[in-house]
Each structure stands twice: as structure tokens, then as C-alpha cells.
Amino acid sequence: MVRHAWFSDWSTLGVGNMKSIWLLISSASLLLIAVLMPNLPFPSKKYDYFFMVDITRSMNVQDYQNDNGDPVSRLEKVKADALIAIQKLPCGSRVGLGVFTERMPTLLYTPMEVCADYPEIRESIRRIDWRMAWVADSNIILALTNTLELMRTVEIENTTLVFFTDGQEAPPMNMRYAPDLAELQSADNNAQKRIRGLIVGTGDHALSRIPKYDEDGIQIGFYTAEDVPQGTTFGLPEDPSKIEGYVPRNAPWGNQSRAGNEHLSSVKEEYLKSLAEPAKLHYHHLQTANQLYNALTHEDFSQRHIRQTDLSFIPAALSLIFLFLAYLPENGFSFKRNKSVKPFRKTAS
Amino acid sequence: MNIAFAQPWALLLLLLAVLPVLGGIFRKRKASWNHLIPASDATRWINRFIKLLGVMAFTGIVLGLAGLYQSEKSFTRTGTGAHIVFVLDRSASMNETFGGKVPDEDTPAKSQVARRLLSNFVDERPHDLFGVVGFSTQPFFISPLTEHKSATQAAINSLTSPGLAFTNVAKGLGMGLSYFQDQPHTGSRVIVLVSDGAATLDHRAQRVLREWFERYQVRLYWFFLRTENGLGITSEPETPRDDNPRVMPERYLDQFFRTLPIPYHAYEVDTPESLEAAIDQLDDLESLPLVYNELIPRNDLTRLCFLGALFAVIILVGIKSLEAK
């Protein structure tokens, strides 16, 4: 019969060195290391973003669906998906917020840390409202240019711009007078650094009607063809020969009323890509929060940063292995025989 | 005690803790007859103690690996302080200096001066809750009432962004007041309006503001950043014809604020120094008893677990060294 009375004199040596004291000593010393080791600098990824959200009226178009299949507006979709993506970001990442309308962006706050200040970020994103808009037009390319300039003014040019918009220019833009994004972002210009970023196109490819609201936010219908300019009348046309009824002085944009569907809105992907390319920005079409997260965490946007990381789990895990070996039954994994290992009990007799 | 785990899946390893109960750390020895070595009470207790040490060692390491921590707690304390909402004017004229000029290196813009001083003020008042509202033609929500100073500082930084359009004081104040809608009434409630201009309030706005100020019992401080030689709160009209809200909106806004059933202070500020003095005065005034939450940050107990396991293993080493060879 086998027993393990540790005070026994009848030692049977060489049962296997699994029960060596060295296992316990190694385990103890590894634990000592785990307790005493300082936090070590360990490289990890983090992301700094500046979210710039379009709050013009075309963002009210309800051409997305939520999980229940109910229609939600582009702005609501942006808010919901941006929050989900922010939640997934590693701690130490930061998010700043701004909104734009017409051609003017404004900063709501400079980047905040996404873990410690998450409640504030959540609340402020939830409270973004199209009614914050101080003017009504929508001039995407100038808003983008001004956003890049704003980021330099408030000295957050090292953060990644995330520009949410549907690309709907209202009134339509005369591209002759468009600013040169390539020049703004050129590397030759030593005074300024190229700002990295991402344009997120929002909306469906199909045209939808733009809701019209009154002062109290109650929907009173949709915009009709007569409500909006159907083409640009700004400046001079590029090619007058194409314009019907062109009169140089009195009707540089023709004397015919123009038909069009500028009162309807869809995501202007081609246009947004044509903005992204010279500005060396990425383009992403907003569909799901997961895809947005993947687009946001693209290699180009990640920043390496050295974080003091607690690595004590490594020696502790090794110590656990040694401890496990110290307790491993000598005869393999069978515990059956250990039943007889119970200390002998005195009987009443 | 709010105990939680960073990697709860690692708790599966707790199954290892049965090992010391099933087996031991000692070599098995052959004995000719069990009855020759009867177990005494002392033996049994020592045996149980040794098993317990083993269980402790395993449990300690596994709890540590699972990342045991005490989650963030908030204690309710009483101190002095206030709930303060900054209502910041983001109109275009805030970009100018107090002299009404384009800012340069020596003379910063009004918005920059305001940002620096408000930022210092926030730092000096550890227990206050701060919220930030911006307004131009429309109000915009910037940050909620919060004790996180880093968030408030980031929100105040919004003053560095260029100003926008007009000054619609009524809507800004309305949004500022809405912050107190579902806040417990403790300490003093303060709205600090920082603006460099005023606007006429229509009757509807006047009625709503009067009602809300009374309902939420909010004190109002108005830091009026006056441009040099511009009209101020205390300017007297030169002719009776000029004595109307269109010509002198500041004077009429001030008169309206005076009629509110709440404490109201106006500071006409026309230099960075006088703004500093006004903020100091606010600091002195707003120190009523306040029930505030003190956040105890999350407390990592990993090392403590490893330490417990370490003690158990050291004792086991000691016992093991006594084992007969």
C-alpha cells in the first residue's frame, strides 16, 4: 500500500524528480519577480482623431436603417456608429469633436482620452443636432479646406481628421472657384505638415427626399425642386458655349430655368473621392460600425506610443506552471490511487 | 467592495486549485503497514494546513492572472463648491483683442485671454462640476456637467477655434439652464456667461429665461468683455433717442438680468487683468456647502494576489525542505 506520510523513515528514492523542492523554489522566486517587477515600457498602438461632423440639412435624410429596420437619419447613423467605434479604441487613444455647416467648421473640444473621459464624449456626441447649425448652406469642399486650416490653428494637426459628410453641395458648387486641396496638403510647403485623415461618405446611393423642419424641429414636409437652386450661379461659367441662352452681361448662367434633382440627396461618392485624392485622405463609405472601425484603425492612422505596461503576468504564469508540476501526481494523471493516500484514521477500537 | 476581473476567462484555471486537495507536494513512500504510523490529530491538522497553503497558492496566482481589481468607486463627500456652467460666446468678434484689433503676439484675442483664465479657474476648484455650452446664432452642447477636469479643459479649448456668427444670448442661456434640469440641488448653481456683446431678447425668451432661472435657482455671472471705447453695461445713453435695446443691447440685457429673482453679478471687463480680478471674486463667492462625489480610481489588486501566493509558496518551500530525504 502506498502512503505519503512525510515523517516516514521509509523513503523510496527515485520515484521521479517531479516532487523536487526546486519546483517550489522556482515557483516562489518567479512569484517574487512578479510582485516586485516594475511596469515596463512596452510599445502599443493608439489613435488620435478629430471627428468633424456635417450637420447640414441633407444629413437629416433617413436612408439608413437601425437594427430594428426603422429608418434613421444619416446624422443619427454617424453618431451611433462613431460611438461604437470609439468604444472599441484602445485606452490612451483620444477623440476630439467638431461640427460644420456651410463652409465653417467649429471646434467643440480638443481630443479627450477615450477611456477616462468616455461619458463626456458619449454625451456630447449624442447631443449633436442639426439645429446647432448657425447658417443653412452646405459647402463641403470649403468646409474641408477650412477644417484643415482650423486643425492647424488650434494645433491639433497631428491628429487624424475624420470628416463625416454626404457630399451634398447646396447650392451646387462652381468648381472653377474651388480651392486647391493638393496645394494645402503638399509636402513641399515646409511650414505645414500634411494632415492625415479619412472622409466618411454617409448616405445611400439612391436619391432620397430631404426632410424640411420648422423652428421647433417638427417635420413639415420635404424640400421640393422649387426650394433649392438647381445649379450654380456663382462667378463665371467655365464654358459659356454649353449654356443655353448665355448673355455675357445679363445672363451669364443662361436665361432658362434649369431642372435638376438637387432637392434630392444621395451620397456623392465620386465627388468625395475626388476631394480625398488630392488631399491625400482616405475614403470610406459608412455602412456598419465594424467597417468604420476597421477604416479608422488603418495602419496609416495608428501611432506607436510607449506605455508603462504591467507584465507581471508573465513570471506569474510561469510560476503557476512550476507549482502545477510540483503538485502533479507522480504516477501521471491518475488520481485514483490517491484515495488510499488519505492519512490513516484511528478507529474507535 | 466592487470586485471585478480584467480577464475573467483566466478564472477557468481555478480548477487547478483542487490539485493540493487531491495530491501533495511530497514523495510517496512505501510503508509496510499503515497501522504502524497512526495519524495523530496534530498530523491531520498539519496536513490540512499544508493543503490549504497549496489551494491559496493556486488561487492567488490565478486571481492575479485574471486581473482582479476593485472597480472605480465614488464616495459622497461634503465640501464647498458649485455646479458651474460656462456659457461661452463664440461670435466672430471674440477673435479681436480688447482694443478691437487683430490679435498679435503681445496682445492676445479676447477668446484666448478668456480661455487661459477659465482654464486656470477650473484647475483651482477641484470639487466643482463644470459644464460648457457654446453659442453663436445657435447654442451648441460642448460638454456635460462633469467632475473630469480633463474633459472640461478640452471643452474650454473650443475658444481657440475662430468665432462664428452672431450673438444669440437667449438660446445660449437656455441651453446652459437645461444642464440643471436633472441635477440634484446641492451647492451653488452658477451660470457664467462670457460674452463680448449682447442681443435683444424678445418677450418669449425673456419669459422662459425668467421662469427657468427661478425654477432651477441658478446664480448668474456675466463677464462682459468690453471692447475699448465700445458700449458697455453702464454706458448712459447720450440722447433719449438712443435709449432703446437696439442701440444699447448691453444696457438692456443688464437691466433684464437685474429683474431676475436670483443673485446676479455683472463684471465689465476691458483688460486681461480685470478679467482675472473678476474670476477671483467669483472664486470667493461661490463656496457654499456642496455634496460632491469623490472618485476613487480603479484599484489593481493583481500584485496583492501574487504576494499572497508568494507567502503560501514560501511556507510550502519551508515545509518541503523539512521532508525526510
Q: Which residue has the cell 486571481?
A: B63
Average pLDDT over residues B287-316: 81
Q: Could B140 and A32 be called an inter-chain contact, meaning their C-beta atoms sit closer than 8 Å?
A: no
Q: Are residues A123 and A147 in the same domain?
A: yes
Whether residue A19 lies within 8 A of chain B, CB to CB, comes out as yes
Quick one: closest CA in B to A335, which residue? Answer: B22
Angle in degrees, 0-180, between the axes of helices A21-36 and B302-321, rounded to the nearest 10: 150
In a domain, A84, yes or no: yes
List of chain A residues whose C-beta atoms are within 8 Å of the C-beta of residue B317: 21, 24-25, 28
In a domain, A241, yes or no: no
CB atoms under 10 Å from CB of B175, counted, come to: 22
The confidence band for B227, taking pLDDT boundaries of 50, 70 and 90, is confident
Q: Are residues A195 and A174 in the same domain?
A: yes
* CA dist., res. B192 & res. B174, Å (int): 13
At residue A64, what are phi and psi to the nearest 5 degrees? -120, 165
State the best of A17, A95, A344 to mutate against chain B, taking most chain B CBs within 10 Å. A344
* Predicted local distance difference test score (pLDDT) of residue B272: 72
Q: Are residues A24 and A82 in the same domain?
A: no
Average pLDDT over residues B272-281: 76
The confidence band for A201, taking pLDDT boundaries of 50, 70 and 90, is very high
Q: Are residues A57 and A71 in the same domain?
A: yes
Whether residue A104 lies within 8 A of chain B, CB to CB, comes out as yes
The confidence band for A15, taking pLDDT boundaries of 50, 70 and 90, is very low
Q: Are residues A154 and A217 in the same domain?
A: yes
3-class secondary-structure state, position A18 = helix
List of chain A residues whose C-beta atoms are within 8 Å of the C-beta of residue B19: 324, 327-328
**Region of poorest pLDDT, from A298-312, B288-302, B310-324:** B288-302
Task: Flag whether the ipTM exceeds 0.90.
Answer: no
Cβ atoms of residues A105 and A148 within 8 Å: no
Partner residue opposite B138 with nearest CB, options A11, A134, A313? A134
Partner residue opposite B28 with nearest CB, options A4, A108, A335? A4
The confidence band for B313, taking pLDDT boundaries of 50, 70 and 90, is very high
* Predicted local distance difference test score (pLDDT) of residue A282: 92
Cβ atoms of residues B166 and B179 within 8 Å: no
* CA dist., res. B189 & res. B81, Å (int): 9
Cα–chain-centroid distance for residue A104? 23
Q: Are residues A224 and A324 in the same domain?
A: no
Q: What is the average pLDDT value for chain A, to the nearest integer?
A: 82
Cβ atoms of residues A327 and B25 within 8 Å: yes
Partner residue opposite B306 with nearest CB, options A6, A34, A110? A34
Q: Could A31 and B310 be called an inter-chain contact, meaning their C-beta atoms sit closer than 8 Å?
A: yes
Domain boundaries, chain B: 3-71+297-321, 76-294
Q: Are residues A94 and A176 in the same domain?
A: yes
CATH number at A85 reads: 3.40.50.410
How many domains in chain A? 2
Partner residue opposite A312 with nearest CB, options B32, B43, B303? B303
In a domain, A253, yes or no: no
Partner residue opposite A8 with nearest CB, options B16, B19, B37? B37
Quick one: closest CA in A to B133, which residue? Answer: A108
Q: Please give the interface size between A and B, counted as residue pairs whose CB atoms are below 8 Å apart.
A: 230
Q: Are strands A303-309 and B29-30 parallel, antiparallel or unpaired?
A: unpaired
Q: Are residues A295 and A316 in the same domain?
A: no
In a domain, A5, yes or no: no
Which residues form the domain of A114? 42-228+263-307
List of chain B residues whose C-beta atoms are within 8 Å of the C-beta of residue A128: 141
Q: Are residues A175 and A59 in the same domain?
A: yes
Q: Are residues A162 and A189 in the same domain?
A: yes
In a domain, A9, yes or no: no
At residue B139, what are phi and psi to the nearest 5 degrees? -80, 150
* Superfamily of segment(s) B76-294: von Willebrand factor, type A domain (3.40.50.410)
Number of Cα atoms under 13 Å in the Cβ half of residue A303: 16
Q: How far is B98 from chain A (nearest CA, A)?
A: 20
* Predicted local distance difference test score (pLDDT) of residue A9: 37
Number of Cα atoms under 13 Å in the Cβ half of residue A333: 1
In a domain, A85, yes or no: yes
Q: Could B306 and A108 be called an inter-chain contact, meaning their C-beta atoms sit closer than 8 Å?
A: no
In a domain, A242, yes or no: no
Contact residues, A window 79-98, toward B, CB-based 8 Å cutoff: 96, 98
* Predicted local distance difference test score (pLDDT) of residue B307: 92
Q: Are residues A49 and A132 in the same domain?
A: yes
